[in-house]
Amino acid sequence: MTLLDLTKLPDFLKAQRWFAGKAWPIKSVSVVDHVPLELGTCSFTLAIVEVVYELGQPERYQILARQGPDGLSSALEDDDCVRALFNLAREGREMPSGSGRLVGEWIASTDSGVALPDPLPVRRLNVEQSNTSLVLGERVIIKIIRKLEAGVNPEYEVGRFLATKTSFRATPQLLGALNLQGPAGATLGLAHRFVPDAVDGWKYTLDRLRQQKALGDAFLQDMRDLGARLGALHQAFASAGPDDLAFSPEPLLLEDLQRWSASIVGELGVTLADAGRLHADLEGRREGLIAYAKKLAHVAPSGQKIRIHGDLHLGQVLRSENQWLFFDFEGEPSRSFTARREKYSALRDVAGMIRSFDYAEATVALEGSQPRGRVGPTRDAFLEGYRTATRGAPFLPDTDEAFDVMLRAFELEKLLYEVRYELANRPDWVRIPVEALLRMEDAQ
């Protein structure tokens, strides 16, 4: 096998749509681990490279490349290479790397067998920027993870837990994975069932809000079903036994509530300092919002901390055959793997979804329609479904008052995140979370 020309790596990386460091001068690129792969008719190198910039923190990326007379090219442009890489996982093969092992895994649960055509058609998806996704035979979708982080990948960990330890199937099931073991250890690829005719929840909801001046019973029932399905997901997470330390529920303590409250108060200070320059009316609400956040520290602790989705909104659910499916268990991309794997109150997921309803209504309003007071009924229907599905669940607060205070605090936390995000990325949209902040303070 021809070795990669390391001098060509910076130019190769900058030509890839998934490479996030295009805007920064690269100081050096080094290979920290590699696997030379001779797979049938396909020969290429899987390499883990570390990119050091002139400024900022180093980053690690996975590349799958071939050396040709014209330089480096992506191995994934070749269908045979894609099939060969998938078979490493499907056959559970192991191969040595420079400093560890590449390990394929196929989940051997009774319902994970996937009948695939031969030869296996490969279809490339161009919707994703940060990873590379390919559909095989319209039955399996594989995601090649490009930017790598230290620690356990939560999407792999959660997917494996749901597929092997629970009966929860309202998700595109994890079928297999490629993991690199050793000093540069990381999850390199994931294979899930492909849901061919699914519509994401954001598009589904926007379409309904555009079509309906008043919310119909069918839509509200959909929202109840979504709440009930989230309740079932949380029940699945909470079902872990005490020997499963990554998932077993833990008591929610006063120290947790105080820590979360202090964090929200801190985020309030930073966020209002930034947003207040554009929206002066926010500054006058500072003390009221701080008091809102501090209520969380005075709730009598009850319930449990469990694993949660961690980045839940309408764009993280699919609608297929009149059913809701949850996907993308990576957690918030801006947080470390360790932080994303932290157990939390289930109400953090609930708050994230509720905020998404407000965004959907505001998006339709920005298109020219007038808001029609549909967020409240949508919220109520969703919560009705969730509370019905989780009645008596030990992971939730044991009083309605504690439930409401905690949920509102997590909604505030999400709002502050939205304000910071919009200020940095879409300043014209910042009025959506700002107006929600003002309504929240008025509602106290």
Would the CA dihedral through 370, 371, 373, 377 be positive or negative? positive
HSE-up of 335 (CA within 13 Å, CB side)? Answer: 14
- Higher-confidence residue of 254 and 367: namely 254
Q: What is the pLDDT of residue 284?
A: 83
pTM to 2 decimal places: 0.94
**Range scoring the smallest mean pLDDT among 254-263, 282-291, 411-420:** 282-291
> How do residues 79-90 score in pLDDT, each as one tens digit?
999 999 999 999
Can you tell me the distance from the alpha carbon of 417 to that of 222, in angstroms, rounded to the nearest whole number? Answer: 27
pLDDT band at 285 (very low <50, low <70, confident <90, very high): confident
- Segment 228-247 shows an average pLDDT of 98
pLDDT band at 2 (very low <50, low <70, confident <90, very high): low
For the beta sheet containing 122-124, the strands, ordered from the edge strand earlier in sequence to the opposite edge, are 94-96, 101-106, 174-181, 186-193, 140-144, 132-136, 122-124
Strand partners, 142: 134, 191
pLDDT band at 442 (very low <50, low <70, confident <90, very high): low
Q: What is the pLDDT of residue 444?
A: 52
Can you tell me the distance from the alpha carbon of 330 to that of 159, in angstroms, rounded to the nearest whole number? Answer: 10
Q: What is the pLDDT of residue 39?
A: 86
Q: What is the pLDDT of residue 189?
A: 97
Q: What is the pLDDT of residue 113?
A: 57
pLDDT band at 443 (very low <50, low <70, confident <90, very high): low
Q: What is the pLDDT of residue 70?
A: 84
> How do residues 325-337 score in pLDDT, each as one tens digit?
999 999 988 888 9
pLDDT band at 112 (very low <50, low <70, confident <90, very high): low
Q: What is the pLDDT of residue 182?
A: 94
> How do residues 422-441 score in pLDDT, each as one tens digit?
999 998 899 999 989 988 85
Residue listed under structure tokens 């019905």: 388
> How do residues 296-322 score in pLDDT, each as one tens digit?
999 999 999 999 999 999 999 999 999
